[in-house]
Structure 1
Amino acid sequence: MVKKRVGIYLAHPRPGSFNHALFGAVVDELREQGAEVVAHDLYAEGFAPLLTAGETETVAASGAAEDALLALHRDEVAALDALVLVHPNWWGMPPAVLAGWVQRVMVPGVAYKLGTADGEPVGLLRAGRALVLNTSDTPEAREHEEFGDPLERIWAACVLPYVGVTDVRRRVFRTVSDSSDDERAQWLRQARKEAAALIG
């Protein structure tokens, strides 16, 4: 049986955060399930999120990158069977390091192709599934009624389908700041279950 290759990406600056706990639980679960895991803590490894002017001129032609870390991420993401993204909800957006990761890694020639006959982009990633794990301090009713759940739109409508991911799953854990130890333990179990189902 061929191992599933799963990329897990964490975007939270504070070691010891609940996001780090989610990341660790998912990494452990997927390894226990026999997956080949590629795990990245974007803050810890110093991923540079700023898309440069030079990159905007060269990525469309080849997808090549002079930055070794960036080249590694592009090579890895192209070879994944599934993705897991772990991050907090900050102002209805992912943290800047993850937004920059999308802009610098998910480029033409790596994640999608332009210039098709019908004018629609074609996703190039072989990863058909993705799991997004978010933390939030906004109650669910307010999130939907006042804000329209912008993270759902970002991942499930704007980013992941564009690059070829057809099965987008998402779980939000809330509200984190006033959660109990028991609640957090339950959330970690839920995250592990969601991760296992991703490759099931």
Structure 2
Amino acid sequence: MRVGVYLAHPRPGSFNHALFEAVVEELSGRGAEVVAHDLCAEGFDPCLSDGETGTVESADAKDGQLARHRAEVAGLDALVFVHPNWWGMPPAVLTGWVQRVLAPGVAYKLDTADGEPAGLLKAGKALVLNTSDTPADREESEFGDPLHTIWSACVLPYVGATDVRRVVFRTVTDSSDEERTAWLTEARRQAATLLTSA
């Protein structure tokens, strides 16, 4: 099984980095072929060019890094995204990755008979691991959990993922070492479930 794991956090040593490393290690240890990307460390450019703004077919990727990401994502069996909740959104580097890599003609097509988008990715499973400093009750009552909507309604089903799981670790700033250890264990457990057929 081939799994893409994507980290979006600019600070080395962050808890997001620890989650990313734990997931990559767990999946690799269970025999998965892991394609791992620390988007900030790699300097992924999140800015769309004018040629990438078509809604029916994406322009050919002249950027070598972008072309590699598009080719890779087309061959994945599962996706994992690790990122903090910033202003109810993923960090800009990951938002840009979604807009540039999960492009029309690569990850979905709009020209279907019923007018609905058709996902083109074979990755039917996706796991999103978020960190947050907002308590769960406040997130739900005041903000409506926008990250849930982004990943579980707006992005992943659109490109073909039908099994979307999301886990939020909160609140990170005041968490203890014991809590973080337990969260890393849970991240590993969640990652392992991607490798089961059910």
**Normalising by structure 1, what TM-score?**
0.96
Cα shift readout 1:143-191 (whole Å, capped 9, x = no counterpart): 0011000000000000000000000000000000000001000000000
CA shift at 1:56, angstroms? 2.0
Cα distance in 2 for partners of 1:37, 1:116 equals 32
CA shift at 1:61, angstroms? 3.8
CA shift at 1:117, angstroms? 1.2
* Match for residue 75 of structure 1 among 71, 75, 81: 71
Q: Are 1:139 and 2:138 matched, yes or no?
A: no
Cα distance in 2 for partners of 1:155, 1:62 equals 21
CA shift at 1:60, angstroms? 4.1
Over the aligned positions, Cα root-mean-square deviation in angstroms equals 1.0
Instruction: Write the letter of the residue equivalent to 2:189.
Output: K
CA shift at 1:114, angstroms? 1.1
Aligned residue in 2 for 1:170: 166
Aligned residue in 1 for 2:181: 185
Contact 1:126 1:164 in 2 (8 A): yes
Structure-to-structure mapping, 1:1-200, within 5 angstroms:
4-57=1-54, 60-61=56-57, 64-200=60-196
CA shift at 1:63, angstroms? 5.1
Cα distance in 1 for partners of 2:57, 2:133 equals 42
Cα distance in 1 for partners of 2:57, 2:40 equals 29
CA shift in 2, pair 1:26/1:132, >3 Å: same
The count of residues paired between Structure 1 and Structure 2 equals 196
Cα shift readout 1:117-158 (whole Å, capped 9, x = no counterpart): 111110000000000000000000000011000000000000
**Normalising by structure 2, what TM-score?**
0.97
- Structure 1 gaps of 5+ residues are none
- Structure 2 gaps of 5+ residues are none
Contact 2:66 2:101 in 1 (8 A): yes
Cα distance in 2 for partners of 1:61, 1:109 equals 5
> Aligned with 1:160: secondary structure?
helix
Cα distance in 2 for partners of 1:195, 1:22 equals 10
Cα distance in 2 for partners of 1:144, 1:47 equals 32
